[in-house]
Amino acid sequence: MNHRVVKITEGVEEAVVVAGQSDNSGNGANQLAFPTGVFVDQLDTVYVADTQNHRIMRWPKGATSGSLIAGGHGIGSESNQLYYPSDVSLDRYGNLYVTDTLNNRVQKFVVDK
């Protein structure tokens, strides 16, 4: 299993890893565990629904590790917890929307850029 996000560019033979590591899942700042939803903003910052770590990570362009921006406080239904997040999106006002799958909800977070 490859616990990473890659960028594939048309006409380029090799994909570029932009988040996570190959064959190495975990909960470190440079690791992901079954990433699912991905959103890329206008600055090429990558937001990842890190599903089995129950968190959302942000990876600035060129970064070798990410930062926690939502969840990461264990499985749960409190406002600072996620339960298998599966997708993520960001609006033009800096609001982050997270599909919190097993809590049957969409959560909204304000994100500092």
What pLDDT is attached to residue 10?
Answer: 92
**What's the pTM value of the predicted model, to 2 decimals?**
0.92
pLDDT in tens, 24-73: 889 999 999 999 999 999 999 999 999 999 999 999 999 999 999 999 99
What pLDDT is attached to residue 1?
Answer: 66
What domains appear along the chain, each with residue ranges and CATH number? 3-110 (2.40.10.500)
Which two tokens mark 72? Answer: 């990461």
Question: Which residues in 51-110 belong to E strands, given as ranges?
Answer: 55-59, 67-71, 85-90, 95-100, 105-110
Which two tokens mark 20? Answer: 């996570």
What pLDDT is attached to residue 2?
Answer: 83
Contact between 83 and 101 under an 8 Å Cβ cutoff? The reply is: yes
Sign (positive or negative) of CA dihedral 90, 111, 85, 45: positive
- Nearby residues of 49 by Cβ (< 8 Å), 6 or more positions away: 35, 36, 37, 38, 56, 85, 86, 87, 88, 98, 99
At 18, the pLDDT band (50, 70, 90 cuts) reads confident
